[in-house]
Amino acid sequence: MLGRMTRHAQLRLALGGLIALASGMGLGRFLYTPVLPMMVEGAGLSPSRAGLIASANFAGYLAGALAASLPGMSPRAWTWLVAGLAASAATTAAMAVTGGFWPWVLLRFAGGWASAFILIFTAALVVSRLRAAGSVLSTLHFAGVGAGIAISALISAPLIAADGAWRQVWLTGGGLSALALVAVLALVPRRAPDAAGPAQERRARPEGLWRLVLAYGCLGFGYVITATFIVAMLREGPGGRGSETVVWLIVGLTAAPSVVVWTRIGARIGAIRAYQAAI
């Protein structure tokens, strides 16, 4: 029974979720940020095309999120999670061995789609089980996004000055994502989530849902610009390359515990007020 899940099993499940998000979101979605200025310099990528490639990734993320919400997807959550992790690893590594604007657009679109599958289906497989067991370890699961961003900063840093460094970073990210897939296979059980959980969430339509969707969309429009181009902006600033890795690393290290912090704040002042304070 989910409610009888041992503490050790809960920790393994949360760790599997953390690794999945670190791979699919931190690397599959955000590795492009530290690589972007290297590709502009080393691959002759213009800033406008760099932005279009980033847009393709977010378009793929939107398409993947919509596809994951289709009827009949949830019962095969584990299969779709594994497929998303494999696709994320493959598309990340393939960025290093392909060339040209359109192949990169297609790869980033596919990578965004995979990232959405990973985020949504780990929530179905990990978060729902942990909550059913009365565990608070779902916050550890969500720390994976920040952990992955921090890893992307670390694997980019030693290679910034090297010729063709951007290819090495993509290959390293793809290799780490492949290892993450193996870890998730070992840590996240195949057993489907309790049918009562996701089904009830899909039927629920809280008042003001579309206002929340609109607000979240506006926030996303603002944050993705900074999240994509912050390293490129730092390279053009007075700090130059010396500040790139440090700032991007700080982004990851502060994002990792953010869910824990805001969950506790929400428990004290209420979720709505915490959300308003975060904005």
Q: Which of 44-58, 187-201, 223-237, 238-252 has the lowest mean pLDDT?
A: 187-201
Distance, in Å, from the CA atom of 145 to the CA atom of 34, rounded to the nearest integer, reads: 15
pLDDT at residue number 162: 67
CA dihedral 224, 127, 176, 79 (to 10 degrees): -110
CA 58 from centre of chain: 11
CATH number, domain of 170, equals 1.20.1250.20
CA distances from 81 to 84, 157, 173, 179, 188 (A): 5, 30, 18, 15, 10
Q: Which of 70-84, 232-246, 260-274 has the lowest mean pLDDT?
A: 232-246
Domain total in the chain: 1
Distance, in Å, from the CA atom of 147 to the CA atom of 251, rounded to the nearest integer, reads: 10
Domain that holds residue 221: 2-278
pLDDT above 80 for 53? yes
Distance, in Å, from the CA atom of 130 to the CA atom of 270, rounded to the nearest integer, reads: 21
pLDDT digits (tens, 9 = 90+) for 215-260: 878 888 877 878 888 887 777 766 666 678 888 899 999 999 998 8
Q: Coil, strand, or helix at residue 88?
A: helix
